[in-house]
């Protein structure tokens, strides 16, 4: 959510930003907010005047009573009663105007960084760089579900009985690799100086509204029936919510955390659940990185964070590339974002395994997360990035480390988490 003062002073800039995101249906909202804001400020002024006049009249009544002018004092008291009634009406109107304004402001997209390429959707995202050689072996690399099945490691049929489509059982060596990757990702980020955290896996609606757009919430979140609780779609939600309403001392910034959680997503509007594989599922596990920092440091952190993801995947001998997300592919709260994609030797193309984003002060403004320094109090900037999301990362790992004889090689970095094994047969 952008600053109402900024919108008031720069309406055409806000409209141009909306056009860059190809959301022309939202252009009228800018003028609507300006009108509501003007009415709200006019109402606020009248409220302030009544309150100031009330104090003045109170002194007048005291003086009249002291002079024995009771009748005149009673007449003045009537003015106070009338003012109190008007004040109640104005405060109710003010609250209604503030709620209407906030509701619209929550829908107007954040101002994107000037470096973001302009495009309508993810088909117009721009490749930044490739890391590692995208090898296509001379032998056939099986579908990932077949590789896991050869380890007796996947049971979607049983999961269908217990939970429905989009769920799975991982077993044996497949499950062990999965857990080993999560543990390695945790330690990888701890070694980068991030504080490890396991957050709540459910959050309240006010936190949900603070960290994401309404459209994202509808497409992603599972709500707990009869409770003001939602299952998290990523631990970023809990991690940012941790600081809701707080004023963080400036000398504590940056706050860099890496968090583990299971994640739950409805995947509404997705291309459908795979019958055999585990590329698109309702439940997965994730190691995340989250940073709260000063505004002037956010872009430096953004660049460090996506580079950590690249370094992590390369340490597992997985070729990756980075894609700059275009304006139309950015969620409304994001200032800038890039995807990390892993190479699939079976499909001979890249697929998404993570995403890095800076959201400016949008989440902090919604959740009232501020910092206090020498120059006063201001909103922090928030960033998030995927270190590892399984089972997508597991798919990339299996395909890129699959060997001609059907075994799976274990890269050196992962061997301490696999009991020293160099391969799985």
Is the pLDDT assigned to residue 213 strictly greater than 80?
A: no
Tell me the pLDDT tens digit for each residue of 245-299.
999 999 999 999 999 999 999 975 555 555 678 988 999 999 999 999 999 999 9
408 - beta bridge partners? 402, 424
Mode of pairing for the β-strands spanning 283-293 and 255-264:
antiparallel
What is the predicted pLDDT for the residue at 375?
A: 82
Q: Which pLDDT score is estimated for 272?
A: 55
The predicted structure's pLDDT at residue 60: 63
Helix (H) or strand (E) holding 4: helix 4-9
Q: What is the mean pLDDT of residues 30-53?
A: 88
DSSP type of residue 121 = S
Using a cut of 0.85, tell me whether the model's pTM lies above it. Answer: yes
**Average pLDDT of the chain?**
91
User: Which tokens belong to 251?
Assistant: 């000398």
**Could you give the C-alpha distances from 243 to 209, 342, 422, in angstroms and in order?**
14, 33, 42
Tens digit of each residue's pLDDT (9 = 90 or more) over 347-364: 999 999 999 999 999 999
- Burial of 269 from C-beta contacts in 10 A (0-12 / 13-18 / 19+): exposed
- Radius of gyration (C-alpha) of the chain in whole angstroms: 27
> From the centroid of its chain, how far is CA 390?
18
DSSP 187-234: HHHHHTTPEEE---SEE-HHHHHHHS-HHHHHHHPEEPTTSS-EE-SS
pLDDT band with cut points at 50, 70 and 90 for residue 327: very high
Q: With left for phi above 0 and alpha for psi between -120 and 50, is residue 356 left, alpha or beta?
A: beta
* pLDDT exceeds cutoff 90 at 191: yes
Q: What is the pLDDT of residues 222-244, one digit of tens each?
A: 999 999 999 999 999 999 999 99
- What is the dihedral sign for C-alpha 102, 335, 368, 229? positive
Instruction: Please state, in angstroms and as integers, the Cα–Cα distance from residue 365 to each residue in 34, 144, 247, 294, 369, following that order.
Output: 19, 42, 12, 14, 7
pLDDT value at position 373? 86
In words, the CATH class of domain 4-105 is mainly alpha
Long-range contacts of 138-142 (CB under 8 A, 24+ apart): 138/404, 139/404, 140/346, 141/345, 141/346, 141/399, 141/402, 142/346, 142/402
- CATH homologous superfamily, domain 122-424: Bira Bifunctional Protein; Domain 2 (3.30.930.10)
Domain(s) labelled CATH 1.10.287.40 in the chain stretch across 4-105
398 confidence band (pLDDT: 50, 70, 90): very high
pLDDT band at 177 (very low <50, low <70, confident <90, very high): very high
Amino acid 276: pLDDT: 76
Where does residue 368 fall: left (phi above 0), alpha (psi -120 to 50 degrees), or beta otherwise? left
Kindly report, as residue ranges, where domains of CATH 3.30.930.10 are found in the chain: 122-424
Average of pLDDT values for 136-153? 94
């Amino acid at each position: 959510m952008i600053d109402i003062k900024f919108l008031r002073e720069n309406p055409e800039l806000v409209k141009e930003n909306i056009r860059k995101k190809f959301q022309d249906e939202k252009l009228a909202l800018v003028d609507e907010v300006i009108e509501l804001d003007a009415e709200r400020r006019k109402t606020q002024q009248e409220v302030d005047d009544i309150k100031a006049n009330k104090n003045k009249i109170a002194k007048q009544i005291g003086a009249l009573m002291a002079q024995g002018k009771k009748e005149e004092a009673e007449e003045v008291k009537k003015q106070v009663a009338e003012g109190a009634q008007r004040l109640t009406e104005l405060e109710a109107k003010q609250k209604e105007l503030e709620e209407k304004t906030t509701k619209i402001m929550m829908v107007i997209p954040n101002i994107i960084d000037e470096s973001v390429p302009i495009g309508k959707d993810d088909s117009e995202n721009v490749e930044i760089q490739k890391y590692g050689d995208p090898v296509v072996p001379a032998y056939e690399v099986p579908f990932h579900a077949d590789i896991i099945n050869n380890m007796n490691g996947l049971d979607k049929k049983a999961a269908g009985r217990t939970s429905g489509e989009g769920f799975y059982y991982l077993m044996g060596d497949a499950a062990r690799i999965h857990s080993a990757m999560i543990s390695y990702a945790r330690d990888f980020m701890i070694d980068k100086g991030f504080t490890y955290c396991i957050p709540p896996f459910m959050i309240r609606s006010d936190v949900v509204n603070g960290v994401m757009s309404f459209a994202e919430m509808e497409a992603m979140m599972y709500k707990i029936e009869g409770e003001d609780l939602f299952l998290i779609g990523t631990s970023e939600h809990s991690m940012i919510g941790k600081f809701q309403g707080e004023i963080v001392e400036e000398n504590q910034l940056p706050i860099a955390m890496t968090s583990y959680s299971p994640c739950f997503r409805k995947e509404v509007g997705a291309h459908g659940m795979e019958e055999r594989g585990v590329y698109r599922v309702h439940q997965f596990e994730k190691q995340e990185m989250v940073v709260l920092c000063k505004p002037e440091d956010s872009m430096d952190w953004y660049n460090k964070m996506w580079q950590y993801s690249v370094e992590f995947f390369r340490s597992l001998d997985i070729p990756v590339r980075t894609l700059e997300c275009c304006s139309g592919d950015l969620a409304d709260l994001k200032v800038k974002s890039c995807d990390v994609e892993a190479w699939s030797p079976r499909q001979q193309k890249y697929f998404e395994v993570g995403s890095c984003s800076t959201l400016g002060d949008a989440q902090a403004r919604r959740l009232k997360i501020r910092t206090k320094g020498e120059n006063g109090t201001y909103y922090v900037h928030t960033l998030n990035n995927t270190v590892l999301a399984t089972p997508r990362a597991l798919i990339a790992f299996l395909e890129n480390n699959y060997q001609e004889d059907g075994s799976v090689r274990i890269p050196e970095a992962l061997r301490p988490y696999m009991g020293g094994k160099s391969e799985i047969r």
